[in-house]
A and B are shown apart, each in its own frame.
Chain A
Amino acid sequence: MRVNFTVNGRKQEADDVWEGESLLYVLRERMGLPGSKNACEQGECGSCTVRLDGVPVCACLVAAGQAEGREVTTVEGLADYAKHRQDAHPGGGCASGACGTSLQDAQQWSAKGQDSQTGEGTELSPIQQAFIDAGAVQCGFCTPGLLVAADELLERNDTPSDADIREALSGNLCRCTGYEKILDAVRLAAARQGEVV
């Protein structure tokens, strides 16, 4: 079947989709957006959290067909989404494929000390920057899902208590950090948001 939907503000169509294919598979393998992660494919770990018409969902539990005509926001579009939060529709995400990782990119990956220290050249949403600054990223596999969930929390509650943060992120497993620095990151992003307002 063919699925038409909007991903990170850009109209997309996926052809030859099997009925059983998940939204996660279509995003990762057909759209070239591997940011949403495949950790349990059972809705237990939250690594594949995306927003479907604004609502955080586990993309692994959404059949691709259910996304027909709807808007999906993934971690790849998060910075842009946060920027255009006030708009009725999130605008201009990243183009299909351009945000994915080709084999070539994967081979050529190298950590450039200074640039990535500052995130120079990459515009990040407040929650993304806060995750880096607070040391909330270790292996980083849970990070995309946590970012999408945390960003949604901050959208509806700009001064969350620790209990609010824990409740909002309770569907996202992290095996590396012990969650303390993730809490720090959300607190930091909330505080920075407060300063801006």
Chain B
Amino acid sequence: MAGTTTGIPANVTQGSQTKGGVGESMLRPDGTLKVTGEFAYSSDMWHEEMLWGQVLRSTVAHAEIVSIDTSEALALSGVYAVLTADDLPAAKNYGMEYQDTPVLAYGKVRHHGEPVALVAADHPETARRAAAKIKVEYRELPVITDEASATAPDAILVHENRGDHHAGHVPHPNIVHRQPIIRGNADEAAKKADVIVRGEYTFGMQDQAFLGPESGLAVPAEDGGVDLYVATQWLHSDLKQIAPCLGLPEEKVRMTMAGIGGAFGGREDISMQILASVLALRTSKPVKMVYNRYESFFGHVHRHPAKLYYEHGATKDGKLTHMKCKIVLDGGAYMSSTPSVVGNASSLSVGPYVVDDVEIEAIGLYTNNPPCGAMRGFGAVQACFAYEAQMDKVAAKLGMDPVAFRQKNAMEQGTIMPTGQPVDSPAPVAELLRRVKARPLPPVRQWESSEGADVRALPGGLSNTTHGEGVVRGVGYAVGIKNVGFSEGFDDYSTAKIRLEVINGEAVATVHTAAAEVGQGGVTIHAQIARTELGVQQVTIAPADTQVGSAGSTSAGRQTYMTGGAIKNSCEIVREKVLEIGRRKFGSYHPAWANAELLLEGGKVVTDGGEVLTTLVEVLEDEAVEVEEEFRHRPTEAFDLRTGQGNGHVQYAFAAHRAVVEVDTELGLVKVIELACAQDVGKAVNPLSVIGQIQGGTTQGLGVAVMEEIIVDPKTAKVRNPSFTDYLLPTILDTPTIPVDYLELADPNAPYGVRGIGEAPTLSSTPAVLAAIRNATGLELDKTPVRPEHLTGT
């Protein structure tokens, strides 16, 4: 057998590439299951004898808990358990960066909707009725809702005894974290400015509004542990937080990823994981928990609302002289990832522009508003909204074209960031702007046809509010910069286990990671990478669980870079091991085994000259090669707490948008009719999902521009609109055509040159829409979302 493996068998194309590798638009491997309704999302789990868990949530934002009476709830038929914080088995708090979030409130509630008690019952309606019978007596406290109330010298402290590592560095205990950045001398540079422009901007609280509600199933195990099936963005981070709260060693909390119905940052923090597990351990029965939409709005952190104060100066010839800004992010009642959001907002507050002299300060507040944390764009979104509005203002004051002005100040490879870090990979900011601008504009008065106006194409749409009178058009541009991956010295890594073996006469690779497939298409590209690296056609993606090392979070645009890198790494070692086996078995038959560069392609071992040496099946026979390896990106460092200097980021992503809007100036209704995007993706591992990510991110930016906002009553800190009836999301009628133009300028430091994709399009789409509405109406508009009353002055 071995001797016959030299030469090219008739059925092999010389040097053939394996199909379905990196760079191809492969279809989703879970697509069939998802279109037939068979894909198991976390809310679809079912177990015999299972109970339903229900949370009782605080009806007030800030109060001392005087008493909780559960007796009536417990007396209800079908109720198996009613628990309060007193019944918790171990640690009472959890948290990603710092454990300040109670599993169930004790002593105090700090925000509206905070979990206070838990019920397990045999029917979800029984559980809801029981929860309604729990009597909680509150002694209400004044609410902290903004910077002024939080930082007043006599302000009530949201957390009386802070023990986190930021506590010693902040000017007030109600400030979670403060990050200044000082570079050059902004005051001195301002003297060179011919124009100075100041602005004050407000960014509303956006919700991730993933469609699949927080849900899962906790099954008590015979060993006293628990098997947990949930949808999350990072299994291992959950595990670290869950186990101490259950009083169990990590190995007794076995987590398996259930199907995820979107995430966008909203599943980075724990939601129902501990609650369902506590109930399961207490009742010794499987417990399913599914938040309804109302609860979901209370069950996860939101995007930080922000106040941004900016000053820019520029010379007559259009060069920026300096920038000063203060960014105030409202982190709500618990820390979550507020410190990192503050770091991002400050370090990216200049945007993709060259400004040598800056004075920056970003702070995150503790308040009694809903907790805020990760959401797509993570601190960079709020800053982009403000600096892009400023760019338009400066350009207008100089009488310059807004795109030309941006291009004149655009950063490029080699630019030094305000943190002192050089941008050491392509930064095609001016080119991205050129591309969106060069695109032909959509025809005017598109609503008109030979048969009259098609009202569906007009602002107000099917409501038939106008036939085109009072409708004006505007065009606006924006560009943004987003860091990719975890920054500021975080030990960011991912793990992948790759197994290669012969199954039914064919070489099959199995990819096992703990990476969350939140819809972005990770499962597709994982198989593509394995095919490319191992030259096999058949790739199986094993379900994500905690039986393999951490993959890190599916967030920060990092998963293709990081877990993709881990798969590539592991595959390279698998390849070496396969070749070792090959050399051992067949090395004596052909000198190429020792001398040539050998590749795995199309299920064969091939020389770099294209000569086929043997097949993988013949090399492996009944042997399996298995490798579990980690991948780390290059190290980063913390920003200096005083100057903000430091090589804090791994990589940057850039996207530009042009928005075209039509506004009914009589009713204040906006229709976005096109939202074109140009983005550098480094390398499009799967072009189809690249475009899907860019269009999806663009639409979330559109949402926050014109409709999305969680409204919190400033007097009571209560959420007013926790439902899809009142929190408006863009529908297919609100979303325009989104042409996408992507560049592939490889990042020399990243696997395959990839650049994080998912987040950048969320940044610039919002300011582009705002710019277009300003262009159409001549109004200043310094707040998201733009509402009809802002346009009509009513």
Q: A: which residues have CB within 8 A of B?
A: 18, 20-21, 25, 28-29, 32-42, 44-45, 47, 74-76, 78-79, 99-103, 105-114, 116-117, 119, 122, 124, 128-129, 131-133, 135, 137-144, 147, 163, 165-167, 169-183
Contacts and interface: CB of A to CB of B under 8 A. Distances in A.
Contacts of B125: 18, 20-21
A139 B44 contact: no
B37 A132 contact: no
A126 to B, nearest CB: 11
Contact of B540 (A78, A110, A171, A174): A110
Contacts of B35: 75, 124, 128-129, 131-132, 137, 140, 143-144, 147
Nearest to A181: B692
B37 A76 contact: yes
Looking at A76, A103, A165, A181, the one whose CB has the most chain B CB atoms below 10 A away is A103
A114 B258 CA distance: 22
Task: Describe A's contact surface by its main secondary structure.
Answer: loop
Nearest to A147: B35
Contacts of A133: 27
Contact of B543 (A36, A75, A110): A110
A23 B688 CA distance: 36
B38 A35 contact: yes
B519 interface: yes
Nearest to A112: B540
B701 to A, nearest CB: 10
A135 B34 CA distance: 12
A101 B293 contact: no
Given A40-B293, A106-B44, A138 B37 contact: no
A162 to B, nearest CB: 9
Looking at B32, B229, B456, the one whose CB has the most chain A CB atoms below 10 A away is B32
A3 B264 CA distance: 39
Contacts of B46: 29, 32, 34, 100-103
A37 B32 contact: no
B30 interface: yes
A173 B724 contact: yes
Nearest to B215: A38
A35 B211 contact: no
B647 interface: no
Given A113-B539, A139-B211, A170 B731 contact: yes
Looking at A109, A110, A176, the one whose CB has the most chain B CB atoms below 10 A away is A176
B45 A113 contact: no
A37 B261 contact: yes
Question: Which A-B residue pairs are the 4 nearest by beta carbons?
Answer: A35-B37, A139-B519, A178-B695, A141-B261
A44 B30 CA distance: 26
B514 to A, nearest CB: 14
A137 B26 CA distance: 13
B698 interface: yes
A35 B43 contact: no
B409 interface: no
A26 to B, nearest CB: 12
B151 interface: no
29 contacts: A18-B125, A37-B212, A40-B723, A41-B292, A99-B36, A99-B38, A103-B47, A103-B229, A110-B540, A113-B20, A113-B539, A116-B30, A116-B31, A117-B26, A119-B31, A128-B35, A138-B519, A138-B520, A138-B692, A142-B211, A144-B35, A166-B732, A167-B462, A175-B211, A175-B262, A177-B695, A177-B699, A178-B692, A180-B735
B519 A178 contact: no
B209 interface: yes
B779 interface: no
A29 B208 CA distance: 27
A117 B29 contact: yes
A140 B261 contact: yes
A124 B518 contact: no
Interface in B36-65: 36-41, 43-47
B262 A141 contact: yes
B540 A44 contact: no
Contacts of B262: 138-139, 141, 175-176
B540 A144 contact: no
Contacts of B208: 175
Contact of B34 (A42, A103, A143, A166): A143
A175 B37 contact: no
A164 to B, nearest CB: 9
Contact of A79 (B30, B31, B36, B519): B36
A172 B20 CA distance: 32
Given A109-B40, A140-B39, A178-B735, A166 B29 contact: no
A156 B264 CA distance: 36
B738 A180 contact: yes
A182 B737 CA distance: 11
B255 to A, nearest CB: 12
A38 B213 contact: yes
Nearest to A143: B34
A25 B124 CA distance: 10
Given A163-B456, A178-B697, 19 more contacts: A34-B44, A76-B38, A79-B36, A111-B527, A113-B538, A122-B32, A124-B32, A133-B27, A135-B28, A135-B689, A139-B262, A139-B518, A140-B259, A140-B261, A141-B212, A141-B519, A170-B733, A172-B732, A175-B696
A146 B290 CA distance: 22
B605 to A, nearest CB: 21
Contacts of B697: 178
A3 B35 CA distance: 28
B213 A39 contact: yes
A144 B256 contact: no
A134 B152 CA distance: 55
B293 A112 contact: no
A135 B29 contact: no
B691 A135 contact: yes
Contacts of A110: 540-543
A148 B442 CA distance: 32
Given A99-B37, A132-B32, A172-B732, A109 B543 contact: yes
B729 A173 contact: yes
Contacts of B542: 110
A40 B125 CA distance: 16
A47 B37 CA distance: 11
Looking at A44, A147, A170, A175, the one whose CB has the most chain B CB atoms below 10 A away is A175
A139 B36 contact: no
A45 B520 CA distance: 20
Interface in B97-146: 123-125
Contacts of B25: 135
A5 B743 CA distance: 54
B260 interface: yes
B33 interface: yes
B352 interface: no
Contacts of B688: 135
B436 to A, nearest CB: 16
A74 B37 CA distance: 9
Nearest to B39: A140
B523 interface: yes
Given A39-B261, A178-B738, A181-B692, A116 B210 contact: no
A116 B33 contact: yes
A187 to B, nearest CB: 12
B377 interface: no
Contacts of A129: 35
B293 A119 contact: no
Given A139-B212, A173-B724, A36 B735 contact: no
B211 A37 contact: yes
A10 to B, nearest CB: 15
A162 B539 CA distance: 37
B557 to A, nearest CB: 15
B307 to A, nearest CB: 27
B510 to A, nearest CB: 8
A76 B723 CA distance: 28
A182 B37 contact: no
A93 B204 CA distance: 47
Contact of A177 (B219, B696, B731): B696
